[in-house]
Amino acid sequence: MGTRMRLQGHSKKGSWPLLWLLPLAMLLVTCAPDEPNSVKEEAPALPALPPTPGFDQDSAYAFVQKQVDFGPRVPGTPGHKACADWMVAKLQGFGATVIEQTASVTVFNGQKLPMRNIIASWNPQAKERVLLLAHYDTRPFADKDDERTGEPILGANDGGSGVGILLEIARHLAVKQHGPGVDMLFTDVEDYGQPNGAMSADDNSIATWALGSQYFSKNPHVAGYTARFGILLDMCGAKDARFYREAISMRYAPAIVGRIWKTGSALGHGERFVAETKYFVGTDDHLAINERLRIPTVDIIEYNAGTGAFPPSWHTHDDNMDVIDRTTLGVVGSTVMEVVWQER
């Protein structure tokens, strides 16, 4: 009896803490914060994009040669009209819907000139757009040359190279079914600016340049037109050309500049797309698009370290097919093609 009581007493003494700890443990379990889920939910994988078509630099070169074969493409001349007619036919053959803008514009000397902008669109019903542009007219005089300064130039690089690259890209766009629609704007009367202070911000001559893009920015082919971004090609064909981050582009479209330069580097063209900003363009076709239409637009244009600005052939009779390099056309063209094709 005494032993039993002793055992019972021991049992009661040991059970009180257990009874007290039980509700406390339950309370701790109830109040404990949820542990992070050990299995993280993954975002659904996006469908793979179609592979970017190969950019044919020989084809781009042939498109530049064809333009030069028309001779100088000065607004109002037979060579200019013949080249524009050929471009329209080519673009339509590549599956584009083509709209032409015609108007009369006043150039720096008060002369009235016919202007003919050409706009080619693929997948025109798509709300989201990408804009690619280049000018196709050429300088009416060789004001940077030492000889024959009053004669027009062939403009193989300044005019021809950008158009040649875009036409080679255009050759592939009919099969592009993904991502935003693409518009190409071939501007006119870009290169009829005032000779003194050409393409510099030193005087009032800056407003006499890029009249075709100025007109387009005020009168877009579609009411309320906009695009995710724009890429302008100007002087993109010379041998060993280097493309620095142009200052106006960096002011209005730094993210797009970064994307293009990163893409170029990824394709193995890092030595051509130099990650350094240079201020050497006073105005170009992208300025009006940026300022008036608010489309962030980048100018891919050669900076020449030897001149501290544009290539030595600029606005001279040396701007002929001798300066055009297939590899440079391929570097720029493949980079732009990749940027356009990877846009969802």
Q: What is the CATH number of the domain that holds 127?
A: 3.40.630.10
Task: Supply the pTM of this predicted model.
Answer: 0.86
Q: For residue 81, which amino acid is it?
A: K
- At 8 the pLDDT is 36
| Residue numbers in the chain where pLDDT is lower than 50 | 1-35, 197-202
Is there a domain that residue 298 lies in? Answer: yes
44 inside domain: no
Cα–chain center distance at 22: 69
User: Total structural domains in the chain?
Assistant: 1
Helices 326-341 and 254-264 pack at an angle, to 10 degrees, of 120
Domain membership of residue 232 (yes or no) is yes
As a whole number of angstroms, the distance between CA 198 and CA 204 comes to 10
Residue 115 lies in a domain: yes
**Beta-strand relationship, 112-122 and 97-106:** antiparallel
**C-alpha dihedral, 183 to 225 to 104 to 78, nearest 10°:** 10
Instruction: Report the C-alpha gap between 115 and 127 in whole angstroms.
Output: 28
User: Which pLDDT value is given to residue 40?
Assistant: 65
Residue 167 · residue 133 · CB < 8 Å: no
Q: What is the per-residue pLDDT for 46?
A: 83
Q: Does 47 reside within a domain?
A: no
Report the alpha-carbon distance of residue 181 to residue 126 in Å, rounded: 5
Distance (Å, whole) CA 125 – CA 221: 14
Domain that residue 244 falls in = 57-341
Name all contacts of 44-48 with Cβ < 8 Å and 24+ positions apart. Answer: 46/344
Give CA angle at 144 (140, 147), nearest 5°: 85
pLDDT single digits (tens) 71-114: 999 999 999 999 999 999 999 999 999 999 999 999 999 999 99
Which of these, 298, 278, 312, 285, lies nearest to 191 by C-alpha position?
Answer: 285
Under 8 Å between Cβ of 221 and 147 = no
Of 317, 328, 335, whose CA–CA distance to 141 is shortest?
Answer: 317
Q: What is the Cα–Cα distance from 20 to 250, expressed in whole angstroms?
A: 70
In a domain, 38, yes or no: no
Asked whether residue 228 is domain-assigned, the answer is: yes
The CA-atom distances, in angstroms, between 90 and each of 83, 93, 171, 204, 343 are 11, 5, 9, 38, 25
Q: What is the pLDDT of residue 43?
A: 73
- Number of C-beta neighbours around residue 47 at 10 A: 8
Q: State the Cα–Cα distance between residues 129 and 112, nearest whole angstrom.
A: 33
Query: ∠ CA(325), CA(328), CA(334), 5° rounding?
Result: 135
Question: Distance between the two ends of the chain, CA-based, in angstroms?
Answer: 89
Query: Which residues, 6 or more positions from 241, have their beta carbon under 8 angstroms from its beta carbon?
Result: 235, 272, 302, 304, 311, 325, 328
pLDDT score recorded for residue 37: 57
Count of CA atoms in the C-beta half-sphere (13 A) of 278: 19
pLDDT computed for residue 199 by the predictor: 47
Whether 247 is in a domain gets the answer yes
